Homo-oligomer: A and B are copies of this chain.
Amino acid sequence: MRTRQALIRAASEEFDLYGYDGTSLARISSAAGMSIGAVTFHFPTKVHLADTVQEEGLSVTLAALERLSAEMMTPLRMVIDLTLELTRLMEQEPSVRAAIRLGRERPGTEAWSDAWLPTVRGLLDRAYESGQLRTDALPADVTTLVEHLTSGAEAYLRRRMGSDPAFESAVAQLKRVWHLALVGVSAEGPAVPRQTGSSESPAQTG
């Protein structure tokens, strides 16, 4: 089992950095310091390894979701903490980064966000019903905002990785951004966004 775990770890790092097409069993065996034979004993093909890495990344993600949902807090607070925890996982878990990338690059496999976005939507519905959200901050729109922020955290992380390690962590950065998203950036209040909204999004003016 140790060999298998070491292989999954090495494969996660390779898939994360080079993507599905850029990764080969030869490359993984060399990164893990094993023979090709040892690799194919556990994982006959790259498809098997990629599937396993995606499952690993998703199960790490779902475990974090479960840990959080056991805590006592308001739904909006939980959404915020969930995105911060997801960002921490992105930062620290190669299998999570690999699962995100592989989910994008392998059509037909599960997108990473499918594992947690329905939970976020459910929490935001509850936050709305309990009056935690502004009446014009509809749960569907706030879910879209959460998707944008999480994608933004990943993009920042990928830009930063490999460069200066003294850069601000993606988690700290997301906290700053959440602060703004909660209270808004505009000094003028609700009057400004009406100009921003367009006929394409009538829900905003409701």
Q: Which residues of A are interface residues toward B (Cβ below 8 A)?
A: 18-19, 21-22, 76-77, 80, 104, 111, 131-137, 141-142, 144-145, 147-156, 158-159, 169, 172-190, 192-193, 195-198, 200-201, 203-204
Contacts and interface: CB of A to CB of B under 8 A. Distances in A.
Number of copies: 2
Contacts of A77: 195
10 contacts: A21-B21, A134-B186, A145-B185, A147-B152, A148-B151, A150-B152, A151-B154, A175-B196, A175-B197, A181-B184
In the A-B complex, the 10 residue pairs with the smallest Cβ-Cβ separation, listed nearest first, are A148-B152, A184-B184, A151-B155, A179-B193, A151-B152, A137-B185, A172-B200, A182-B186, A183-B184, A182-B193
B151 A185 contact: no
Contacts of A193: 178-179, 182-183
Contact of A182 (B133, B142, B196): B196
A201 B111 CA distance: 32
A183 B178 contact: no
A104 B145 contact: no
Main secondary structure, interface of A, reads helix
Given A159-B111, A177-B145, A184 B182 contact: yes
A182 B183 CA distance: 8
Contact of A187 (B21, B134, B195, B196): B134
Nearest to A172: B200
B104 A196 contact: no
A198 B177 CA distance: 12
Contacts of A147: 152, 155-156
A22 B204 CA distance: 42
A80 to B, nearest CB: 6
Tell which of A104, A180, A185, A193 has the most Cβ of chain B within 10 Å: A185
A190 B21 CA distance: 47
B148 A156 contact: yes
Contacts of A184: 134, 137, 180-184
